[in-house]
Structures are given as C-alpha cells and as structure tokens.
C-alpha cells in the first residue's frame, strides 16, 4: 500500500505539553510515512510556540496545523479535543508528542479504519533515554488479527487507534486512563456488530518510557487510584457515553482489576523494586498474545 492514499486523509492530533525536546522526532515520524494524505494538528498546552521549534529544526510542511488549549496544563484530553475541533480529514489518530509512529503505520491502519470504523496496532514500549526495546503489548506477528473487548480490557499499555472522526470524542474531566474511555466508546459503537475490531499484529506505534513523565512520578499510584475512582463514578452516573449496559459492567469490572494491580504497583514502587508501571509489569512477567 506504500504511497497509495486512495483519497483517505488522517488528521493526526499531537497534544504537546513541555514537548519541545521531542516534538521534532514525533513530526519526523509522520514525514517518513508512505501514506501521505495526513495533516498533523499540533496543540500547545503550555502557551509556547511549537511552529517556531519545528522551523528551527528545518521542518515547515503545509500539512502541519497549529492550535492551543488557551491554558497551561489543561491535560491531554482537552488538548486532543482542541485538535479535533481543527481536524478536517475523515480519519483521526492521536500521537503523543514524546512518542512516534514507525514507518508504514498509516498505510496499514488507514484503509482498515475506513472500512471498519477503527483500527488498532500492536505497541512497542521503548526506553526513551537510549532507545532500548522493553516489550511489546502483544507478541509481535504479521498480518491482521482481531481484538475483542475482553482482550482489550486486559491490556496495560495505552493503545492509539486510527478512527473515523465522528467516533472520536475525549472527555475533559478524564485526565487519567483517558485512552481506556476513548477506546471503550469505539468498541461500543462499532464492535457490537462484529465482536471485534481489526488489529495489525506488527508494533507500529512506539510508546516511549521517559524519566520525568507521569508514570515515573512518586505519586503516580495515588494519581491512578483517583483516576480509577473517577471513571467508576462516571460509569455509575452517566455511563460515560457507553450505550451497552453489559459493556459498561465489564468495563467497571476491568477498572476494579486495574485498581488492584495499581495497589500492588504502589507497594512495589515504595519498596524500590520498580521505577514505573511498565517495569512493574515486566517484574510480574506480564505479557500476552494477539487474539484471532
């Protein structure tokens, strides 16, 4: 599919908070995509000018759009919502400013998302300081599998799909595990008909573990607990926009399991056994295989 766009455009939404040291890498990962029908909506959430940073690095592409949240530290969901308001293409894909897309990501996921409403891929977890591979979310493979809701709810690494724009919605008050809520709405809207969504087995999204990020902070366990409690409260109150009652119940049960895992993580972190949640999972020997 390299170089074929088939008229399908993808708005890549990049939430940027104190990301001047990584934004060039994130954008360059888009510039090398074989699928060229994309725009990047870069959303400043720190009151600074990312256009100037990219121009200083020699990057000035007409596919780059710039906006802001009008605040400092409004959070990734608010930044992505601001980016979504500026997006003009039929498909949407988030990209964290300290992560990157591997070559071939858009050309593999965009046609699947157009056909099915959304498409996911495997995720590579990489240590940012030296580029050391740490793990993949699923066992790496070739081709396209299927990811069902139960399989998704067992994951412990964020997943960032390419999705039809009308299915994309972020909640401003969900500032932790917002990816879980975003993706559960996708399952609610499109997987009910088939029971699953497409999953590219190759890890094409690179999730960078970086010292100084939220997952490395001393209060990350407490922050996670507050976030999980808030999600459970919203599920009980308004269902978080998830129409299927059975799916809401399974989501709530999965969040409770994640709370228990977070409690164990907090104990391990206080004991000095791990620096972040991904290291904790590695200590526990967590892993998985792609369903289907």
- CB of 155 within 8 A of CB of 137? yes
Other beta carbons less than 10 A from residue 264's beta carbon: 12
Across residues 99-109, what is the average pLDDT? 98
- Summarised one tens digit per residue, pLDDT across range 228-281 is 999 999 999 999 999 999 999 999 999 999 888 888 877 877 777 877 766 777
Q: Is the pLDDT of residue 1 over 60?
A: no
- Summarised one tens digit per residue, pLDDT across range 18-48 is 999 999 999 999 999 999 999 999 999 999 9
267-283 burial, b at 16+ Cβ within 10 Å, e below that, comes to ebbeeeebebbbbbbee
Percent of the chain at pLDDT above 70?
A: 89
Q: Which of 134-138, 151-155, 207-211 has the lowest mean pLDDT?
A: 207-211
Termini Cα distance of the chain: 23
Average pLDDT, the chain: 89
| Higher local confidence (pLDDT), 55 or 221 | 55
Beta strands (DSSP E) in the chain are 10-16, 38-44, 64-68, 91-94, 100-101, 118-127, 133-136, 144-148, 162-164, 196-209
Q: Is the pLDDT of residue 287 over 70?
A: no
What is the predicted pLDDT for the residue at 213? 54
CA dihedral 196, 99, 170, 143 (to 10 degrees): -10
Record the tokens describing residue 25, joined without a space. 């890498």
Domains of the chain from N-terminus onward: 10-216 (3.90.550.10), 220-283 (no CATH)
**pLDDT band, residue 214 (cuts 50/70/90):** low
Q: Which of 143-157, 198-212, 261-275 has the lowest mean pLDDT?
A: 261-275
Residue partners of 62: CB distance under 8 A and separation at least 6: none
For residues 64 and 57, what is the distance between their CA atoms, to the nearest angstrom? Answer: 14
């Amino acid at each position: 599919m390299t170089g074929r766009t088939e008229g399908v455009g993808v708005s890549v939404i990049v939430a940027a908070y104190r990301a001047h040291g990584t934004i060039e890498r994130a954008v360059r990962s888009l510039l090398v995509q074989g699928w060229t029908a994309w725009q990047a909506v870069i959303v400043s959430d720190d009151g600074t000018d990312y256009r100037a940073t990219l121009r200083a690095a020699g990057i000035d592409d007409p596919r780059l759009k710039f906006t802001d949240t009008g605040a400092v530290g409004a959070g990734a969901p608010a930044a992505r919502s601001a980016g979504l308001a500026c997006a003009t293409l039929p498909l949407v894909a988030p990209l964290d400013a300290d992560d990157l897309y591997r070559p071939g990501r858009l050309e593999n996921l965009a046609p699947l998302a157009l056909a099915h409403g959304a498409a996911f891929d495997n995720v590579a977890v990489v240590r940012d300081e030296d580029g050391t591979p740490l793990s993949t979310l699923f066992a790496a493979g070739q081709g396209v599998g299927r990811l069902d809701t139960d399989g998704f709810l067992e994951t412990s690494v964020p997943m960032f799909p390419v999705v039809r724009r009308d299915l994309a919605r972020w909640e401003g008050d969900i500032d932790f595990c917002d990816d879980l809520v975003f993706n559960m709405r996708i399952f609610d809207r499109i997987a009910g008909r088939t029971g699953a969504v497409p999953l590219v087995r190759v890890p094409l999204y690179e999730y960078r573990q970086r010292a100084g990020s939220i997952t490395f902070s001393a209060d990350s366990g407490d922050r996670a607990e507050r976030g999980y409690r808030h999600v459970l409260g919203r599920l009980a109150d308004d269902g978080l926009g998830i129409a299927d009652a059975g799916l809401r119940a399974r989501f709530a049960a999965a969040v409770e399991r994640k709370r228990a895992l977070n409690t164990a993580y907090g104990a391990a972190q206080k004991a000095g056994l791990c620096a972040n949640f991904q290291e904790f999972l590695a200590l526990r020997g967590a892993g998985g295989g792609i369903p289907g």
